[in-house]
Structure formats: structure tokens, C-alpha cells
């Protein structure tokens, strides 16, 4: 049975080591991945510089001046998740329309590239796509959260871009949803591209299919309405000209958000199909004059965005559009004004409207943030007058600095302090095993036979040292290291209380990751076995120290035993009369059995059958009915109390016996318990010294590295920092930082806008 248990323990230990190694490998992989990303970024920058050098141009060391539209787009990104009522009031072009009305195709014509994936009859746009259009020397696209540029003149890059858009769409609608509010942000630059910011929204639907989430239709309407409710948003309302006007779902929605039509531009798509299929061309004219739909608009445009072939290039679509309008009766007969047709005219009209709205609203937005900043600064001065405005990142860095400073002090703890703490932890971990597994069984079995006691102690101490003590010592060492580390971290009296959650979380995580070096256990086992083999107490000081240890241990055990007996038998006479304490029925019964056993006067650990029967009969004559097992169970703490009292008396007598012990050269049989406690004390002292050296040489340094790793991980985890650093002080500092940042960006943009005028 013991062999099977030993194999189970070894298997469990092996599995723990494997698990620890796996965790370490995963941690290393994460570190290497971060380093790899950094090196890749450096490599990209070096390649760009190398390319410039090959072209005979000197790489610029200064940051390129950002374009006006990029500055504006950056402000919109800052406001994307703003909770204030002032958020989202800056202009942007919101592209809305029924599903498959041609919204995405219009946006691609404005961007001059087929940048979005196509689906055969299924919903393609599942999340808002913010596209910043700007003019540039090269036709490229880039996601805001990525450094890769897609060359839109290369088919391979275009295919990769469409795949990335589709992947981001699908990732945003996990969890059974069909559409998502999570915005995908990208920029497109190229020659002749109009400067503006557009948001392409999922198409409004009238019927849900069975593979859609149950709230899809309402979710799309709410999302569309949310974007259009911005009083400065330009609504680009896309209507399919090839279907009946009565089937439109979006026109009523647009009319409810902009009833006067002061910021709506109406675009009729697929005019070529409409002209072919409609018997009355005058119907198209009425749409473009704003007389058919119950909505108003700033302008009306008719466009052709291809022949529904996904392989058509932008240039071929544009040529087809121009040919159509040159030959169209609507255009030739003057039924539609020349400025109301082609995507080129649409782009110019939308851009003009966009920048007019920007100039009219951006200063109001800047004033709103200036007022918000003033209010927040006033709140800070009134609420936290003597504290610095530190945001969440700054607070975390200060907490990190304090932790690392304290961690460095770990190696400066004096050796004597370490050994005292380690010996205390070792005794706390070993005391129960020494009493219950070694001392008490040996004393009970040996009785007055000292040789038998010593032999039993030798066997049990060796088994303990070979099987358990090393592992127990490592656990005690970890506990002592944890206590010392935690005390160091909490000693700073001038530390800000707001750092405490961060410090506690980092320390706890570092300590939970810390594992003692495996080979240390083998070293400890050898030292402990050798220390326990020595049976000769060399000096009076060591003898007195062993006696003191024995006395303290016996007193502590005796106190615990008396408390156990008191809980069994209930309060005594003094407690009952002075403190009005009462006993339960079970305690009264135990008290009767206890009194009878004490009168018995036995000194053996196990009562004989005759003794038990005698006690039981005496109790029955007094009206207390009990069984043999109940009597033996009650006898155990009574015997233990008597044994400990006798042992404590012997310990006091042994304090004066060192001279006799030396005269007999350690071969005497008196005070053999003192020798046993001295052997244990010597082993624990040797263990404490070895653990202290291991901490100083390796474990303190390893714990410091693990703490640094934890702090590095926490620094990149925004959710963790938000959880640990909370409260109005932090939130107010965060708001102030963000408001100032947005205000500075707005003022920078306004300055650049005024210069461009």
C-alpha cells in the first residue's frame, strides 16, 4: 500500500514539474513574440531607409507632416468611444442604404479601388467601416492598427486587403451576432482622391433570413440611426434605381433624422439598369428632382458603378459610366443636369459639403472641449487639491518603480534575520509531524525502555528525512520568502494607497509563479540526513537551546490539548459561576466520563478491556449510558495531557543534566528526549542556513525576474490596469488627460485648417 502511495506521489510531482515547464515555455514564447514584433518593426523601417538610399534620396530623420484629413481622422478616432454628449458631433460622411443598393460600390468609386469583399446575394458589410480618403503620391491602403501598407495597384495586395477586411468583419460578429458596432478603421491615399472621412454601414434590411440573429433588422436600424443622429453628419443616402421606389427602407429613416434635408445627399445607383427596365424614364427625373421620395436633400446624383462584375477595374467602370451618360436619353435631352451625374461629380460634391460642415462645426467642438476641460480641472482642484494629476499609466509606472525598488532590497536582508524567519517557518511546518509522527509514537511504544525509544526515533527520523523533510523544507522556504517579500512591499509608509491593488496583484502573481529550483531539494536531503545522524550535543548552550525548544513545544501542545478537553467536557466550575457559561448535554456526558477516567489513574496510552469495562459499569451505576469506543475516545486527550505534563516536568529536570550527560560521553540514557529535540533542531538549523544561501544566490534573483515579467504583462493589459486602478481620482485624471489631448488635436487641426484657407 505504501509503495502504491509513493508511486502516486511521484506521478503527481512529475505532473507538477511538467506543468511548470509548460507554463515557463508559454511565458518564454510570449516574450519572444513581443521581441519578434519589435524586430520586425525595426526591420521594416530599415528597409524603407535602404530603399530611399538606393533611389539616391536621403532618409528623413524628421517625422513627416501629416495631411489635414489625417489630422481630422485622428480626432475622430479619439472621439470614437467617447461617453460624453459632445462626442461624435464632428462631421463625417455616413453611407446608408438598403442592402445591395450599391453603397460599397459607391465608396469604392470614391476610393478608386475595389477594396471590399463581394458576396453572392449575402450581407457583406457586417460592421461600420471608417475610411479616411486623402490625396497622396501612391495609391495605398492601411488599417489604423497595422503598419502594413497595401499597394492598390497590385492585385495580390488588393486580394490580401479584401481578405483582411472580411476577416475583421467575421471576427467582429462572434457570439451568434450578424452585425456589430465594432468599427473597422482604415485609410486610402492616392492621386486625385477627394479628402473626406466616410463610414460605410450595413445595409438596411426588411426581412431576416433564418441564419441571421433575431435582432439583426432592429440592430442595423439602431446603428444607422445612431450615426445619422449626429447633427453634423453628412448622410449619403444610396438608393437602387433598378428597383421600385416603394421598396425602399432607408428613405423614411433618413427623413426622420434629417427632415429638412440640410445634410443629406441622395445618390441613385444602377441608373443604366433603371433606364433599360423602366417604361417611364420620367420617373427617374422625378426621383432626381426630389419629387418622388418623401425626403429632402441638398443634392441629387445619378451614378453607374459597373455591371455587377466583381473583376471589373475602377477604370473600366468609370469608362463604362461615362459612355452610358454620353448616350443616355436622360443626359442628352437635358432631363438631368450635367453636374448631377457620374461618381466624379458626386465625389466633388460630397467633399465640398464635407469641408463646409467641418469648418462650420470644428470650432464649436473645440469650445465644448475647452469648457469640459475647465470643469474637470475645477473638480480636481476642489476634490484633490494636494495631489498630482496622474493618469492610469503614470500611476502604474510609479507602482512598478516602488515594487522594483523594494524587490531590490530583498537581497539586502541580513543573514541572521533570514535564518530566524526560516527556522520559525520550518518549525511551524514540522512541529505536527515531529510530535504526532515521531516523538509521541516512540514514547508511547517505548514506555520506560530508553533503548527502544532511541531506536524508534532513529528509524522515524531517517524515514522523515529521506521522504518528507526536504519537500517540507522547500515549502517552508517559499513561505518565509513570501512573508519577507510581502513585508518589504508593505513597509513603505509614504506610499500612496491607490497603488496597493497593483502591488498586491503583482506580488501575488509573482509568488504564485515562483518555483524553487528542483536540484535544491536533493542538496537539502543530503544535509538533513547527515545532520540527524549526529547524536552528540557538544556544548551547554546547545543543550539549553534544545531543552528550551522541547519546553516551548510541550507547552504549546499542552495548551492545545487542554483547550480540546475543555471543548469536550464544557466549562468548569469557575466559568459556570463567574461568566454564566453552561454545558450542553453531550459535554455533561463527556465530563462524567472524564472524571471517571481520571479517578482510574491509568498511565498507559491504551486502556485494557478490564479498565474500560470497569469505567463503563461505574458510569452506568451513576445513570450515564455509554459504550467502550466512547470511553477510549475520551481517554486519548486525557492521556495526552498527562503525558505532556510528565514530559514537561522531565524537560525542566533535564536542564540541569548536561554535566551528567558529558560525564557519560553522550551514552547515558537520561534525557534522551532532549537529544532527540537537539537532533531535530540541528537539522532545521542546517536546513535554514542552506535555504538562506539558496535565496541569496538564486531564488531572490529569480523572484525579481518573475516580478518584472508580471509587471511587463500588466503594463500591456489595459483591462487589468483599469480593474486595479479605479476610483474617481483615477477616472478624473484619465478624463482630464483625454480631454486635453483631444482639445490639443482640435486646436492643431483648426490652425492647419485656417492656414489652408
Give the mean pLDDT per block of 10 residues along the chain (757 residues). Answer: 61 73 67 66 68 54 60 80 57 88 87 78 74 89 88 90 88 75 89 89 78 80 88 90 74 88 90 75 77 82 79 85 81 60 87 88 86 90 87 89 85 86 89 87 74 87 89 89 80 73 88 86 89 86 90 90 86 70 82 86 83 88 87 89 89 85 67 88 91 87 89 89 90 89 88 81
Calculate the alpha carbon distances from 444 to 220, 435, 689 in Å. Answer: 82, 12, 33
pLDDT of 81? 61
273/306 Cα distance (integer angstroms): 10
Q: Which residue has cell 538549523?
A: 685
548/504 Cα distance (integer angstroms): 38
CB distance 79 to 186 below 8 Å: no
**What are the domain boundaries of the chain?**
2-58, 74-365, 388-536+671-726, 540-665
3-state class (DSSP) for residue 198: strand
- Tell which phi-psi region holds residue 657, choosing left (phi > 0), alpha (psi between -120 and 50) or beta: alpha
CB distance 141 to 114 below 8 Å: no
Q: Which residue has cell 501629416?
A: 66
289/313 Cα distance (integer angstroms): 31
CB distance 691 to 473 below 8 Å: yes
307/678 Cα distance (integer angstroms): 97
Half-sphere CA count of 106, side-chain side, radius 13 A: 35
Considering only CA atoms, which of 607, 669, 679 is closest in space to residue 638? 607
pLDDT of 61? 38
Considering only CA atoms, which of 438, 82, 389, 430 is closest in space to residue 230? 82
Which residues are 199's β-sheet partners? 94, 130
> Taking each helix axis from N to C terminus, what angle separates 672-694 and 540-569, rounded to the nearest 10 degrees?
100
**Which residues 6+ apart lie within 8 Å of 597 measured at CB?**
615, 631, 634, 635, 638
687/476 Cα distance (integer angstroms): 10
pLDDT of 236? 93
pLDDT of 570? 79
Calculate the alpha carbon distances from 64 to 16, 59, 67, 70, 150 in Å. Answer: 54, 11, 9, 12, 19
Considering only CA atoms, which of 448, 453, 454 is closest in space to residue 532? 454
538/540 Cα distance (integer angstroms): 7
pLDDT of 435? 85
Calculate the alpha carbon distances from 463 to 14, 276, 460, 577 in Å. Answer: 21, 99, 5, 51
pLDDT of 63? 40
DSSP type of residue 230: S
CB distance 132 to 186 below 8 Å: yes
pLDDT of 493? 56
CB distance 152 to 131 below 8 Å: no
Calculate the alpha carbon distances from 699 to 299, 579, 691 in Å. Answer: 74, 52, 9
pLDDT of 142? 92
DSSP 1-57: -HHHHHHHHHHHHHHHHHHHHHHHHHHHHHHHHHHHHHHHHHHHHHHHHHHHHHTT-
348/192 Cα distance (integer angstroms): 11
CB distance 96 to 238 below 8 Å: yes
605/329 Cα distance (integer angstroms): 117
3-state class (DSSP) for residue 544: helix
303/289 Cα distance (integer angstroms): 15
Grid cell in block for residue 608:
485494557
Considering only CA atoms, which of 699, 703, 518 is closest in space to residue 16? 518
CB distance 513 to 478 below 8 Å: no
pTM for the structure as a whole: 0.63
183/79 Cα distance (integer angstroms): 12
DSSP 113-141: S--S---SSS----S-EEEEEEE-SS-EE
Which strand (E) or helix (H) includes residue 142? strand 140-143
Strands 140-143 and 129-135 turn out to be: unpaired
Calculate the alpha carbon distances from 66 to 106, 189, 691, 717, 752 in Å. Answer: 27, 12, 60, 29, 10
Considering only CA atoms, which of 239, 716, 746, 703 is closest in space to residue 516? 703
CATH superfamily assigned to domain 74-365: P-loop containing nucleotide triphosphate hydrolases (3.40.50.300)
Tell me how far apart the terminal alpha carbons of the chain are, to the nearest angstrom.
92
DSSP type of residue 98: B
3-state class (DSSP) for residue 151: strand
3-state class (DSSP) for residue 676: helix
pLDDT of 123? 55
DSSP type of residue 333: T
Considering only CA atoms, which of 700, 708, 31, 716 is closest in space to residue 404? 708
Amino acid at each position: 500500500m505504501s509503495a502504491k502511495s509513493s508511486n502516486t506521489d511521484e506521478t503527481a510531482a512529475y505532473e507538477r514539474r511538467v506543468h511548470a515547464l509548460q507554463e515557463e515555455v508559454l511565458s518564454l514564447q510570449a516574450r519572444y513574440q513581443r521581441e519578434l514584433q519589435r524586430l520586425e518593426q525595426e526591420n521594416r523601417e530599415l528597409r524603407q531607409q535602404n530603399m530611399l538610399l538606393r533611389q539616391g534620396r536621403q532618409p528623413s530623420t524628421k517625422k513627416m507632416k501629416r495631411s489635414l484629413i489625417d489630422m481630422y481622422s485622428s480626432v475622430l478616432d479619439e472621439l470614437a468611444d467617447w461617453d460624453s454628449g459632445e462626442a461624435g458631433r464632428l462631421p463625417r460622411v455616413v453611407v446608408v442604404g438598403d442592402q445591395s443598393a450599391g453603397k460599397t460600390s459607391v465608396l469604392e468609386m470614391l476610393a478608386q479601388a475595389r477594396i471590399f469583399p463581394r458576396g453572392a446575394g449575402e450581407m457583406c458589410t457586417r460592421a461600420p467601416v471608417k475610411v479616411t480618403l486623402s490625396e497622396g503620391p501612391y495609391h495605398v491602403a492601411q488599417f489604423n492598427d497595422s503598419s502594413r501598407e497595401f499597394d492598390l495597384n497590385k492585385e495580390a495586395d488588393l486580394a490580401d486587403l479584401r481578405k483582411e477586411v472580411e476577416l475583421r468583419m467575421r471576427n467582429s460578429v462572434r457570439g451568434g451576432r450578424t452585425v456589430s458596432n465594432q468599427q473597422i478603421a482604415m485609410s486610402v491615399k492616392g492621386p486625385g482622391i477627394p479628402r473626406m472621412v466616410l463610414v460605410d454601414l450595413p445595409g438596411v434590411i426588411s426581412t431576416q433570413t433564418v441564419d441571421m440573429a433575431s435582432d439583426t433588422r432592429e440592430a442595423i436600424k439602431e446603428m444607422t440611426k445612431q450615426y445619422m443622429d449626429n447633427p453634423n453628419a453628412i448622410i449619403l443616402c444610396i438608393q437602387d434605381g433598378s428597383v421600385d421606389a416603394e421598396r425602399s427602407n432607408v428613405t423614411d429613416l433618413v427623413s426622420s433624422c434629417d427632415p429638412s434635408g440640410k445634410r443629406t445627399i441622395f445618390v441613385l445607383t444602377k441608373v443604366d439598369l433603371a433606364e433599360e427596365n423602366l417604361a417611364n424614364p420620367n420617373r427617374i427625373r422625378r426621383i432626381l428632382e426630389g419629387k418622388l421620395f418623401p425626403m429632402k436633400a441638398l443634392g441629387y446624383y445619378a451614378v453607374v458603378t459597373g455591371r455587377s462584375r466583381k473583376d471589373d477595374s475602377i477604370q473600366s467602370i468609370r469608362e463604362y459610366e461615362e459612355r452610358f451618360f454620353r448616350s443616355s436619353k436622360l443626359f442628352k435631352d437635358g432631363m438631368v443636369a450635367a453636374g448631377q451625374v457620374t461618381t466624379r461629380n458626386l465625389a466633388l460634391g460630397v467633399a465640398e459639403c464635407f469641408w463646409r460642415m467641418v469648418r462650420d462645426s470644428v470650432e464649436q467642438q473645440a469650445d465644448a472641449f475647452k469648457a469640459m476641460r475647465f470643469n474637470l480641472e475645477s473638480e480636481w482642484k476642489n476634490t484633490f487639491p494636494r495631489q498630482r494629476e496622474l493618469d492610469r499609466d503614470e500611476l502604474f509606472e510609479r507602482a512598478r518603480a516602488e515594487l522594483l525598488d523594494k524587490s531590490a532590497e530583498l537581497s539586502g536582508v541580513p543573514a541572521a534575520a533570514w535564518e530566524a524567519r526560516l527556522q520559525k517557518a520550518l518549525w511551524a511546518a514540522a512541529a505536527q509531524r515531529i510530535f504526532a509522527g515521531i516523538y509521541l509514537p516512540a514514547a508511547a511504544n517505548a514506555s520506560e525502555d530508553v533503548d527502544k525509544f532511541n531506536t524508534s526515533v532513529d528509524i522515524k527520523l531517517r524515514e522523515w528525512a529521506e521522504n518528507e523533510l526536504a519537500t517540507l523544507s522547500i515549502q517552508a522556504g517559499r513561505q518565509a520568502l513570501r512573508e519577507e517579500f510581502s513585508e518589504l512591499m508593505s513597509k513603505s509608509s509614504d506610499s500612496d494607497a491607490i497603488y496597493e491593488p497593483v502591488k498586491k496583484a503583482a506580488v501575488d502573481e509573482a509568488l504564485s509563479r515562483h518555483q524553487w529550483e528542483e536540484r535544491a531539494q536533493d542538496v537539502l536531503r543530503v544535509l538533513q540526513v547527515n545532520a540527524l545522524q549526529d547524536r552528540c550535543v557538544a556544548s551547554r548552550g546547545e543543550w539549553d537551546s534544545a531543552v528550551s525548544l522541547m519546553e516551548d513545544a510541550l507547552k504549546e501542545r499542552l495548551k492545545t490539548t487542554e483547550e480540546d478537553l475543555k471543548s469536550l467536557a464544557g466549562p468548569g466550575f469557575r466559568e459556570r459561576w463567574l461568566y454564566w457559561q453552561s454545558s450542553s448535554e453531550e459535554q455533561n456526558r463527556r465530563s462524567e466520563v472524564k472524571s471517571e477516567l481520571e479517578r482510574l489513574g491509568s498511565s498507559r496510552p491504551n486502556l485494557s478491556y478490564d479498565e474500560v469495562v470497569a469505567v463503563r459499569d461505574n458510569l452506568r451505576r451513576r445513570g450515564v449510558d455509554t459504550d467502550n469506543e466512547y470511553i477510549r475516545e475520551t481517554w486519548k486527550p486525557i492521556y495526552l495531557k498527562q503525558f505532556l505534563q510528565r514530559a514537561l516536568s522531565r524537560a525542566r529536570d533535564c536542564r540541569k543534566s548536561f554535566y551528567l550527560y558529558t560525564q557519560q560521553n553522550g551514552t547515558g540514557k537520561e534525557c534522551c528526549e532532549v537529544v532527540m529535540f537537539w537532533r531535530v533542531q540541528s537539522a532545521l538549523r542546517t536546513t535554514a542556513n542552506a535555504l538562506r544561501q539558496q535565496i541569496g544566490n538564486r531564488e531572490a534573483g529569480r523572484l525579481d525576474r518573475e516580478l518584472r515579467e508580471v509587471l511587463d504583462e500588466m503594463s500591456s493589459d489595459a483591462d487589468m490596469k483599469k480593474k486595479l486602478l479605479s476610483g474617481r481620482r483615477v477616472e478624473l485624471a484619465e478624463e482630464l488627460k483625454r480631454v486635453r489631448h483631444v482639445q490639443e488635436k482640435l486646436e492643431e487641426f483648426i490652425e492647419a485648417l485656417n492656414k489652408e484657407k
